[in-house]
Amino acid sequence: MLKARPVIGFYSEGDAGTVWKSRIEQDLPQFQFELLKDVEDKRTVRYALVWNPPLGFLEGFVNLEAIFVLGAGVDSLLKDPDLPHVPIVRLSDAGMAQQMAHYVIYGVLRFQRRFEAYQQLQDARRWAPIEDIEAIEQFPVGVMGLGAIGSIVARQLAAIGFPVLGWSAGPKVIDNIRTFDGETGLSAFLSESRVVVNLLPLTDKTEGLINKKFFSRMSAESFLINIGRGQHICEVDVLEALEEGLIAGAMLDVFEMEPLPSKSPLWNHPNVIITPHVSGLTVPQAALDQIIKNIKRIENGDAPDSAVDRIKGY
C-alpha cells in the first residue's frame, strides 16, 4: 500500500485555492494540497498556508513544520491562544509594496493637487482653476513604518520629488529620507508632515496609536493615509479631529471592523476617502515563489526567510 503524501493545507475564506494547488503540486510533488477545512486527518498536514483563520482553527495540527501567512500582517494570528508553537513565516512583499506605493502616491497627489476640490467643482458644473496649489517641494510626506514595504513607499515618494520624512520605533537610515524615531521624535515628525502615511505593524505598542493626541500633534492642513491596520486608529477620534479642524482629511483603506458597517459615519464624511482594504493585494504567483523557496529551505534543515518574531509581533 502506498503511503499518503504529507499535506500542504490552505485556508483563505472564499478562496478555493485553485491557483495555489496547481503551483504547489507542480513545484513540490512530494506533497499534496488540500483545503484545511476538508482535511480528515490533521496529523498529515506539514505546512499551513493561511489568511485570517478563525481563532483555534489551527489547533490539533500536531505535525506542522511552519505556518505561512498569505499577507504582510500577522497580528490576528498571534492573538490565537491555541496557535501551534512552530515558525510563522510572513510574506516580505509578494508584489504588495509596489501596489501600496502607487496607492499612497495617488492619495498624496490628490491631496497636494486638491483634486477633491475639482470633484466638487465638477459636481457644481463650475470651471474654476485653482491657482494656489502648493509646490511638491513644499509638501512633505511622512511615512510611519520603515520596514520592507514602508521603505519602498518612502523611496518612491522621494523619487517623484516629495520631501519625505520617516518614523520608526528605532533608528533607521535611508538615503534621501529624514528619519525620526521613538516617542521623542514623533511630535516633530507629525508637525512637519503634510500627509502622514501609516504602514506600521500592529503590536501592543502601536494599537490605538492614531488617536486624539496623535491628531493634536499634526498640522491643521495635514492629511492621514492609513494602510496599516484598522486597529491602529480610533475611528471616533478621526471624526472628531476632522470636525474640530485638527486635520484636513483622511484616506482610509483599513478599519476596526471589516467590511466597514454601512451605518458608519465615515462613509458620508466629505473629507474622508474610503477604499475596501485594497491598497496591497497578495499576488499568488509572487507569494508562491517565496513560500515554495521557504518550504524547500525547511525541508533541507535551514531556517526560513522572513520568520516572525513572536515577541515583537512582526
Residues labelled catalytic: 229, 277
Return all residues near 299 (Cβ < 8 A) that are at least 6 apart: none
Tell me if 139 sits within 8 A of 164, measured CB to CB: no
Cα angle for residues 78, 206, 69 (degrees, 5° grid): 30
152 vs 90: CA distance, rounded Å? 17
CA distance 312 to 296: 26
Residue with cell string 522572513:
306
Q: Residues 204-218, buried b or exposed e (16+ Cβ, 10 A)?
A: eebeebbbeebbebb
Q: What is the 3-state secondary structure (H, E, C) of 120-165?
A: HHHHCCCCCCCCCCCCHHHCCEEEECCCHHHHHHHHHHHHCCCCEE
Closest CA to 7 of 17, 30, 27: 30
Tell me the three state secondary structure of residue 232.
helix
Evaluate whether 50 touches 69 at the Cβ level (below 8 Å). Answer: yes
- Residue 218 carries which DSSP code? S
15: amino acid identity, one letter: D
Separation of first and last alpha carbons in the chain? 44
Alpha carbons 228 and 148: distance in angstroms, whole number: 13
> Rounded CA gap, 50 and 64, in Å?
13
